[in-house]
Amino acid sequence: MQEDFTDASRYRLIRKLAVGGMGSVYEAVLYGAEGFQKTVAIKTIKERFTDDREFVELFIGEAKLVADLVHQNIVQIYQLGKMEKLYFIAMEYIQGVTLQEFMNKHMELGKRVPLELGIFAISRVCRGLEYAHNKRDNTGNLLGVVHRDVSPKNLMISSEGEVKLTDFGIAKARNLMKDQEGSVLMGKAQYMSPEQAQYMTTDKRSDIFSLGIVMMELLTGVNVFADDETTTVLQNVVYKEIPKPSHL
């Protein structure tokens, strides 16, 4: 697959950055005229999902949506491409770590993330979310963007100190993303809003709730909803009283 991709495009894959249940992300080089080169990230769908029309529509919808979300705190998308049956997204390459990796490193050292750094990171995510939530189409109507998967794994911290929101793969937006609310549970359980956990309609408040859970975990080292059983996590999201950070 990697050799075919290289031969059929302007991109050369360098290394695999991440692999998930639905696809993979690679570091790659984009080549242009007169020796132009740019390091990018390439996101692909696993081959076994290429015939799953609903999944492919989500992937295409993500590219179309984020292409219009031009903000310093959102990972940028450059191109939606297709090689035979395989769709791919070329996007901004972030040299750095996820917020999850950042937190894990501090935990390994027996430390908590410094308050100032934590607040800075969350404030930058707030800027990106505010921009996305207020995005309008060409006729001036709100797109109604909801990320629906705000979590430490989807927040990037670059080596230059930038903080960026990524992976709009299950986001919803009017006329751009297929809306499966009410029938499919989307997102990571321990970061869901109560509305998500109950298959209810979501809006921007769900993202704000999720970011609040991320912030509490970032500053205290504890995810208040976490449990080994997903069903218990979902019940915690809906019913558990959130403790004061000073009690954690």
- Indicate whether 75 pLDDT > 90: yes
Phi/psi for 150 (5° steps) reads: -70, 115
Integer Cα distance of 74 and 234 in angstroms:
28
- 14 vs 53, more confident: 14
Per-residue pLDDT reduced to its tens digit, 189-231: 999 999 999 999 899 999 999 999 999 999 999 999 999 999 9
Q: Among residues 4, 68, 149, 203, which one is catalytic?
A: 149
**Where are the alpha helices (H) located in the chain, listed in sequence order?**
2-7, 53-67, 99-108, 115-133, 194-197, 204-220, 230-239
Integer Cα distance of 173 and 184 in angstroms:
16
Question: Could you give the count of Cα atoms lying within 13 Å of 64 in the half-sphere of its Cβ?
Answer: 15
Query: All domains of the chain, ordered by start, with CATH?
Result: 2-92 (3.30.200.20), 96-247 (1.10.510.10)
- Indicate whether 248 pLDDT > 80: no
Mean of pLDDT values over 54-63: 86
Write down the residue that tokens 């297709």 correspond to: 82
149 in catalytic set: yes
Please tell me the pTM assigned to this model: 0.89
